[in-house]
Amino acid sequence: MRLQKPPRAKAEPTTQAPATVNWALAAIVVLLAGHVFAWLYPPQGLTDVFHLVWGVAYAWLALLLRRPGPRRWARAWLTGLMAVQLAGRFVVFAVDDRVLLRTLVVIGVAVTLTVVVLLWYPSSSREYFAARRPG
């Protein structure tokens, strides 16, 4: 006799983000702090514009993830921005030999990968972003 699994109930739309998304948002705050630090010290001209724009984009997209009804496109854009920045981190690591900067780059890579994993891998995150927006 073979036991059958009960049918899985369809995920109902939820307005509350799971812990995995909240942890990802906390890690995004760490990335934002890195952009503020890079923007304030040391001033470097064009890279300051990058850090200002990227920081604002991270903050805006992170806020959209917390609004009622998940924004799948915001998660995708956030992931794309982090992919571009991840490539940039490898460039900075290769061209700059300052120990503090390289340490910050390695920390940034670890935090970025953590955010991506938390937003895409756990089933709670996938279900949250698969749910339809209420209304």
| Helix (H/G/I), strand (E/B), else coil: 37 | helix
pLDDT in tens, 7-45: 655 555 546 889 999 999 999 999 999 888 887 877 678
More confident residue, 69 or 124: 124
- Alpha-carbon Rg for the chain, nearest whole angstrom, is 18
Do 13 and 127 meet the contact criterion of CB atoms below 8 Å apart? no
Q: Rounded to whole angstroms, how far apart are CA atoms 73 and 77?
A: 6
Mean pLDDT computed over 67-95: 90
* Between residues 126 and 4, the one the model is more confident about: 126
pTM of the entire predicted model = 0.82
What pLDDT score was predicted for residue 2? Answer: 63
The confidence score (pLDDT) of residue 131 equals: 82
For 63, what's the count of Cα atoms within 13 Å in the CB-facing half-sphere?
A: 6
Query: Is the backbone of residue 69 left (phi > 0), alpha (psi -120 to 50) or beta?
Result: left
DSSP 14: -
Compute the average pLDDT of residues 49-63.
89
Cβ–Cβ < 8 Å for 119, 58: no
Read off the pLDDT of residues 100-124 as tens digits, 9 standing for 90 and up: 989 999 999 999 999 999 999 999 9
Task: Note the pLDDT of residue 81.
Answer: 94
More confident residue, 66 or 69: 66
